[in-house]
Amino acid sequence: MSTLLCVGTSGMSVWFSRDLGETWTRPYIESGLYLECRVWSMSAHPKRPGEVLVGTDMGVYRWRESEKHWTHLPSPLDQLHVWSLVQAPDDPDYLVAGTHPAGLFWSSDGGGTWTRAQSAFAESCIFVGNPRVTQILFDPVDSNVMWASVEIDGVHRSEDRGRSWKKVGSGLLSDDIHGLAVVRNGSKLVYATTNKGLHVSRDEGKTWAFQELPSSWQYTRTIVPRADGDATVFLTNGNGPPGSTGRLLRSRDHGQHWEDAGLPGELNSTPWTVATNKSDPKLIFVCSNLGQIFRSTDGGESWTRLKREFGEVRSTLWQTVN
């Protein structure tokens, strides 16, 4: 078994590493994906190692490691930017995608056909022109419930596996939602990251409370529980998008308290992505928005800054392959 690490960039397609980030390759255009496309989102098939779906500015593509080739999956998403893409844990061929301009779509056949979900979003946004769906999340407690973060239009919730959505919640300091996480600590906590800080809901998203961080900045981007399901949660924090510096924060108690996780050296921008996997929860990769990459092999207790730097990074994942 080996590890396939994927980094999706805004303008340089997808880069692959098969040696834990020491060396990198980017397949040429004959592999099926435009070399300079923007890759906003990625999802790996948990039952078919080496199969990766990516959401781009040209629709959805599928990579198969055994073939070293990208296949375009034609759909109504081709005319949109696919900012978020997720596969159901209990049925990986059930997909839900979120786009810019904001829209939500679902597929029950692995991306062969898509249906637009029932949803409503703000028509315009002062910062990014049109709202966009930044993350979609299957609720780990109730497989019929899904969550979507929208920049800039708040948190949206589905009770029918993504077929219909409603905006939920009050108490958010900002509707500029970047990411979501559901954490179980005996009860269920739903976290939302925003440009004005971290928020938590204890009532299925009906109400939200601001949770101040022990940081010079309250801007937050990604919140990710470590894949082993213990109390460890990671949160990316910095001084803006892309920012000029930042920190990776770590909680050891399901997000109640936070500490600096200790990324080494001087950061060039806000940390942006966190990649963790159940096959080895101790192996974690973090990327800054402007392309620095860090690796931990002990669950986030210590970190190595890798030599390679990319341009603008938007998504990362890793999986074990044959």
pLDDT tens, residue by residue, 23-45: 999 988 889 999 999 999 999 98
pTM, 2 dp: 0.96
Which long-range contacts does 291-297 make (Cβ < 8 Å, 24+ apart)?
Answer: 291/9, 292/267, 292/268, 293/7, 293/21, 294/248, 294/263, 294/264, 295/20, 295/21
DSSP-based three-state secondary structure for 252: coil
Average pLDDT over residues 105-118: 96
pLDDT band at 237 (very low <50, low <70, confident <90, very high): very high
pLDDT tens, residue by residue, 272-291: 999 999 999 999 999 999 99
Burial class (CB in 10 A: 0-12, 13-18, 19+), 24: middle
What are the structural domains, with CATH classification, of the chain?
Answer: 2-321 (2.130.10.10)
Say if residue 127's pLDDT is above 80. Answer: no
Nearby residues of 128 by Cβ (< 8 Å), 6 or more positions away: 100, 151, 152
Average pLDDT over residues 152-173: 96
DSSP 255: T
| β-bridge partners, 245 | none
Burial class (CB in 10 A: 0-12, 13-18, 19+), 72: middle
Q: Compute the distance between CA of residue 150 and CA of residue 164 in angstroms, rounded to an integer.
A: 15
Q: Compute the distance between CA of residue 61 and CA of residue 71 in angstroms, rounded to an integer.
A: 5
Say if residue 125's pLDDT is above 80. Answer: no
Say if residue 128's pLDDT is above 80. Answer: no
Average pLDDT over residues 200-206: 96
DSSP-based three-state secondary structure for 227: coil
Cβ contact 144:157 at 8 Å? no
pLDDT band at 1 (very low <50, low <70, confident <90, very high): confident
